Amino acid sequence: MALRASWPLLALLAACTGSDRVEPAVSPPGADETARTNALEAGAALLQDNGPLAKMDVYVVGFHPMKEHPDQQMEAHHFCRQVNEDFAQCALFDGNGVEANLTGIEYIISGSLFETLPAEERAYWHPHNGEILSGQLVAPGIPEAAELELMRTKMNSYGKTWHTWHTRDGVEPGDPMPVGPAMLAWSFSRDGEVRPELVTARDQRMDISTAERREARSELRELALPQEGVDALRDHFPHATPIPGVDQRQ
């Protein structure tokens, strides 16, 4: 299945089946919207379209640690647009409802595009095989076969992610406003790196089994190539263990 053809189809399936709503972690301070503001929003909705947001029609949920502060971890809801076969761009939120807070951005590239990057740039891009083969990255609300095909298209890809607002601190609420500098996020490539309570809370809230998804994706291991960045968090989590199929490129 062609990647670009599959993503809109997956989005349509997700819209038909639906998924459990995840509320934002915090509400920023500020006065309630006035009637005038509500009227302006209603007029804009009638007269303007959603522009680039209209094509951010693929929804996936995963977990991000900060590369320089790996104990700082959060659940991330991605709404993505596949720009072409090798490049996607995502807006990150702390939930999936209309009140969710915008918390960052992620760009996703294929392994072949990653190979074109200079060495110093590659340090910003995290590998995705661990997220996929562990079952941590999920596409809620679509049939299992469709989700498996989506994950197949993302094997050996890389992401460059910046979090601008840390509304979650693990499973607890985080900052009520976007404060401080943007932080480079990373991925989990070994068992024992992600906080187990993060996975448990997400699975219970969204009626998902990470373990079942991991088992279903075992067939994708044969597609996995060694990736750069797998060892980036190794010293911080010395007791973590390998995920079958996830290897550091030498």
What's the pLDDT tens digit per position in 67-122?
Answer: 999 999 999 999 999 999 999 999 999 999 989 999 999 999 999 999 999 999 99
| Full residue range of the structural domain in which residue 151 is found | 3-18+37-242
**Position 30 in a domain:** no
For residue 58, how far is the Cα from the chain centroid?
11
Structural domain includes residue 25: no
Condensed to tens digits (0 to 9), the pLDDT of residues 19-60 reads 577 877 777 666 665 666 455 445 435 554 556 677 778 899
In a domain, 142, yes or no: yes
For residue 28, is it within any domain?
A: no
Sort strands 102-109 and 87-93 into parallel, antiparallel or unpaired: antiparallel
- Three-state DSSP class for residue 123: coil
158 assigned to some structural domain: yes
Collapse the DSSP code of 158 into the 3-class scheme (helix H, G, I; strand E, B; otherwise coil) and give the result: strand
pLDDT: is 159 or 13 the higher one?
Answer: 159
pLDDT in the model for residue 32: 66
Is the Cβ–Cβ distance between 108 and 27 less than 8 Å? no
How many angstroms separate the CA atoms of 127 and 66, rounded?
14
Mean pLDDT of 137-141: 94
| Total domains present in the chain | 1
The H or E element spanning position 76 is strand 69-84
Residue 31 forms part of a structural domain: no
Residue 32 covered by a domain: no
Helix, strand and coil in the chain, % to nearest 5: 35, 25, 40
